[in-house]
Amino acid sequence: DAEITQSPRHKITETGRQVTLACHQTWNHNNMFWYRQDLGHGLRLIHYSYGVQDTNKGEVSDGYSVSRSNTEDLPLTLESAASSQTSVYFCASSQTGSEAFFGQGTRLTVV
Amino acid sequence: AQSVTQPDIHITVSEGASLELRCNYSYGATPYLFWYVQSPGQGLQLLLKYFSGDTLVQGIKGFEAEFKRSQSSFNLRKPSVHWSDAAEYFCAVGNTNAGKSTFGDGTTLTVKP
């Protein structure tokens, strides 16, 4: 079965370190997205991609970057982790005109 | 700018009772509307979606939602709640690229035995 997987599921890192969260989908979807979820804020869009070599900033993109070198993967990089980036991160993918499928999430703690 | 408001942060219902979760949206064009459910520690699962056509949409697990353009609403309903429905529910509005959606802050549903 096709799926979308995130790794790691849990990560603790120190302030100032670079961190990369992985997202891999086997749906062959063109569109991929990264959200963060904080208590009381629902999901907020960080970055998104509509295809290989395409990336776009979302609502809360400061301090984050993504790259899309193939269809299956959209890694999210925190350039210099800050305590404000402690959150649960969700990756999603979709095909144009259809619903999004979400990964299980990565819980990131910055200490 | 698009936005979604879920007025109820937390709702408690008894098992077997009916449920309605409210969702109001602001969107400049014809919206694509979604309801997702999230169990603790899990990702989001799509319950139902509205793209066009019949304004009453049926979803999984016995849920339905009605799109009312005049009220900018897309309320979620279930006639009889089960204990397993306890979760957090998110309403979202988006465009044709469904993943690029704006989410409400969610409503937490507690089900009393």
Q: For residue range A10-35, list pLDDT tens digits in order.
A: 999 999 999 999 999 999 999 999 99
Cβ pair B42, B107 in contact under 8 A: no
Give the residue-averaged pLDDT of B84-113: 89
Q: What is the pLDDT of residue B98?
A: 62
Cβ contact, residue pair A105, B43, below 8 Å: yes
- For tokens 């961190």, the residue is A19
Cβ contact, residue pair A43, B103, below 8 Å: yes
> Which tokens in the block code for residue A87?
């959150």
| pLDDT tens for each residue of B20-66 | 999 999 987 778 999 999 998 888 999 999 988 889 999 999 999 99
Helix then strand then coil, % of chain B, to nearest 5: 10, 50, 40
CA distance A5 to chain B (A): 11
CA A39 to chain centroid: 17
Cβ contact, residue pair B104, A93, below 8 Å: no
- Residue A103: list chain B partners with CB under 8 A: 43
> Which tokens in the block code for residue A58?
């979302």
Backbone phi and psi for residue B34, each to the nearest 5 degrees, phi listed first: -140, 150
In chain B, the residue whose alpha carbon lies closest to the alpha carbon of A90 is B43
Model confidence band, residue A48 (pLDDT cutoffs 50, 70, 90): very high
**CB atoms inside a 10 Å sphere around CB B86:** 17
Give the residue-averaged pLDDT of B70-91: 96
Cβ contact, residue pair B98, A98, below 8 Å: yes
Asked if B53 has any chain A CB less than 8 Å from its own CB, the reply is no
Cβ contact, residue pair A94, B46, below 8 Å: no
Q: What is the pLDDT of residue B48?
A: 94
Cβ contact, residue pair A104, B43, below 8 Å: yes
Question: Average pLDDT, whole number, for chain A?
Answer: 94
Asked if B101 has any chain A CB less than 8 Å from its own CB, the reply is yes
Q: What is the pLDDT of residue A2?
A: 77
Give the residue-averaged pLDDT of A39-54: 91
When comparing pLDDT for A58 and B52, which is higher?
A58
Give the residue-averaged pLDDT of A76-105: 93
Q: What is the pLDDT of residue B99?
A: 66
Q: What is the pLDDT of residue B43?
A: 86
Give the residue-averaged pLDDT of B62-80: 96
Q: Is the pLDDT of residue B1 over 90?
A: no
Asked if B31 has any chain A CB less than 8 Å from its own CB, the reply is no
> Which tokens in the block code for residue B79?
């006639």
Q: What is the pLDDT of residue B62?
A: 96
